[in-house]
């Protein structure tokens, strides 16, 4: 079997923005196959995690198609959070084809993989302060121009699922689940 170099790009993608797509394109040059792990698969309908995993898969797939990224060179994988942080890396390993390197800037993600002796490299993000999911959610909440930060097709999907109203209603909720989270 020919050896394939695979890399993992890990995020929650709440939602996918233009910076993510640029990063995917750059990272795909470094490996034969890029596995895009969409984490926190069970979370949705809270302020830091407004979108379901299915919606995020849909956004990612559509945005990569729109950007004409080669579909045979990447793989999108939803992964739920582990019940223990200390087994999360093992869970990622068991959800994915074998991989050689992890791309992430996030300190906890980097630390967890490095404690298991897995190579971790930085991702160079484009204008990180603006192209950020937190910024997108903030703009949605207060009515600023969030659309310019997202691929066109993601803007359309958010329209179809009425996503901006969802995030605004979450912001005023005192839910029966009893937990309110900040942006």
Distance (Å, whole) CA 158 – CA 11:
19
**How distant, in Å, are the alpha carbons of 67, 136, 156 from that of 180?**
36, 19, 28
Q: Which of the ranges 17-25, 120-128, 137-145, 163-171 carries the binding residues for a copy of itself, by CB under 8 A?
A: 163-171
Number of Cβ atoms within 10 Å of the Cβ of 166: 16
Q: Is 117 in the site for a copy of itself (CB under 8 A)?
A: no
Q: Which two tokens stand for residue 83?
A: 């019940």
Distance (Å, whole) CA 37 – CA 39:
6
Q: What DSSP line would sit under 15-33, residue for residue?
A: T--HHHHHHHHHHHTTSSE
Q: Is 122 in the site for a copy of itself (CB under 8 A)?
A: no
Q: Which two tokens stand for residue 133?
A: 């999911």
Q: Which of the ranges 23-31, 121-129, 141-149, 162-170 carries the binding residues for a copy of itself, by CB under 8 A?
A: 162-170
Chain positions 42 to 101 lying near a copy of itself, rule: CB under 8 A, are 42-46, 48-49, 52-55, 57-58, 61, 65, 71-72, 75-78, 80-87, 89-91, 93-98
Residue ranges binding a copy of itself (CB under 8 A):
1, 10-12, 14, 39-46, 48-49, 52-55, 57-58, 61, 65, 71-72, 75-78, 80-87, 89-91, 93-98, 106-112, 134, 153, 156-157, 159-160, 166, 169-170, 172-179
């Amino acid at each position: 079997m020919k050896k394939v170099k695979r890399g993992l790009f890990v995020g929650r993608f709440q939602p996918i923005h233009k910076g993510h797509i640029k990063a995917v394109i750059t990272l795909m040059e470094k490996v034969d196959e890029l596995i895009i792990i969409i984490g926190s698969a069970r979370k949705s309908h809270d302020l830091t995690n407004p979108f379901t995993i299915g919606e995020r898969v849909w956004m990612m797939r559509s945005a990569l198609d729109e950007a004409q990224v080669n579909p045979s060179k990447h793989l999108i994988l939803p992964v739920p959070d582990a019940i223990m942080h200390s087994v999360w890396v093992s869970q990622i390993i068991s959800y994915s084809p074998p991989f050689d390197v992890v791309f992430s800037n996030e300190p906890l993600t980097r630390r967890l993989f490095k404690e298991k002796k897995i190579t971790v490299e930085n991702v160079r993000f484009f204008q990180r302060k603006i192209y950020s999911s937190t910024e997108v959610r903030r703009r949605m909440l207060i009515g600023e121009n969030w659309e310019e930060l997202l691929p066109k097709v993601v803007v359309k999907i958010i329209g179809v699922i009425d996503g901006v109203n969802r995030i605004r209603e979450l912001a005023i909720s005192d839910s029966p689940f009893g937990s309110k989270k900040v942006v």
